[in-house]
A and B are shown apart, each in its own frame.
Chain A
């Protein structure tokens, strides 16, 4: 049983499929995220693939402070993902709300709405930082078992 668990954890670390979701960002973080997926950085080395449906994805990569309009959609997309699932907040806005913190029309960060596993700060977060963040998230997965 322990062996099976180990193999499954190994497989999870080696094959994180991500889903990109813009929760009201200014697009800068999205451009950097797309840059991280280009052949220049080649994330397929780590088994990372961009998937287009929440059903296939393991990691939900969100960018931007959650606007009140997108809040319901974010929760719905999160609920459509299959267990086990992780959320990564990319960019200062996604981590804390950034310059928009306290505005009447936003929720100040992803973690106000859904649980977040990793925070990647930066305005915008650079592709290298994003890849580093995802790799660190997977490392914690190994410790938890």
Chain B
């Protein structure tokens, strides 16, 4: 019982993942600033933002459904924190590894997005509603290629559990070369999931104020921001565990350090993409995903099926 609580609340649960998420946000913002030839925020900036928001007043709009408005951020945070339990961090197996955990992680990462939708919807502000509808529209565009690209790697490894996938690719590193397309597709989809710049349509501040989060202030906004950061770290950890699983079969301490470095590398790639691209329109985004990204993911799936048929 105490062991489970420790896993859930301290390591690798809430406390550790929050600190890691704040560090991830700092790296993202600092790199973004350096790419723009700026100095960038100091190292404690995400922490200061979080504490300040936690100490601010919570405003619930009088038209909003107060219970849902307050509950939804907590649901989002819970789902994001729960998903780290099934991600391997210091060995090839996560703490509660079971066959099928890759699918559970993918679904747990979807819940925050649905919560952003519901939070925006129940705040009954016009901007929040437009933002939340865009969140959902975008969800249908990137979720399919994300699932296809990650599960095609699982198809090649012939298992639905992250542990077996990691072990398979560590013993047969050659097969990783075939997963290149899947890696690119899942990075694009992760950008969409995290609502980062080429796909930050749901919170486009020049059009619809702040999207789903328009009416959120204080503590509830802090929880939403922390959720997004945790989602970024967990998504990066999932991609690094499946597409670049090296080092996870070492002894715990070096394996953990290598995992952290890999996650930060994925985050660095995300912030590079954020710097290079400008925001798309929602119709361009949906078109791009269904016309180019989904066929790419299908190609990856086909390649993996063929390799599995011929070589394994």
Contact = CB atoms under 8 A, between A and B. Distances in A.
B205 interface: yes
A39 B275 CA distance: 13
Contact of B214 (A10, A15, A53, A84): A53
A136 interface: no
Interface string A78-108: 0010111000000000000000000000000
Among A45, A56, A83, the one with the most B-chain Cβ atoms within 10 Å of its Cβ is A56
Nearest to B221: A56
A95 to B, nearest CB: 27
A134 to B, nearest CB: 15
Interface of A: 7-8, 10-12, 14-15, 39, 42, 44-45, 47, 51-53, 55-56, 58, 80, 82-84
Given A42-B33, A82-B58, A82-B218, A56 B38 contact: no
Interface in B206-244: 206, 209-210, 213-218, 221
Contact of A44 (B38, B59, B205): B38
Interface in B30-46: 33, 36-42, 44-45
B59 A55 contact: yes
A44 B29 contact: yes
11 contacts: A8-B51, A10-B48, A11-B51, A14-B48, A14-B52, A39-B38, A47-B41, A53-B213, A53-B215, A56-B210, A82-B58
Contacts of A11: 47-52, 55
A58 B44 CA distance: 19
Chain A binding surface, main DSSP class: loop
B205 A52 contact: yes
A45 B38 CA distance: 9
Contacts of A82: 56-59, 217-218
A83 B45 contact: no
A83 to B, nearest CB: 4
Q: Which 3 A-B pairs have the closest CB atoms?
A: A11-B51, A14-B48, A52-B205
Contacts of A53: 127, 209-210, 213-215
Interface of B: 29, 33, 36-42, 44-45, 47-52, 55-59, 127, 205-206, 209-210, 213-218, 221
A14 B45 CA distance: 7
B48 to A, nearest CB: 4
A132 to B, nearest CB: 17
Contact of A45 (B42, B127, B216): B42
B217 A44 contact: no
A55 B52 contact: no
Given A8-B52, A82-B56, A15 B45 contact: yes
A5 to B, nearest CB: 9
A140 to B, nearest CB: 17
Nearest to B33: A44
A83 B57 contact: yes
A51 B56 CA distance: 16
Contacts of B218: 82
Nearest to A54: B217
Contacts of B216: 55-56
Nearest to A4: B55
B209 A52 contact: yes
Given A45-B38, A47-B45, A47-B48, 17 more contacts: A8-B51, A12-B55, A14-B45, A15-B45, A15-B52, A42-B38, A42-B39, A44-B39, A44-B40, A53-B214, A53-B215, A55-B215, A56-B210, A56-B213, A58-B52, A82-B57, A83-B56
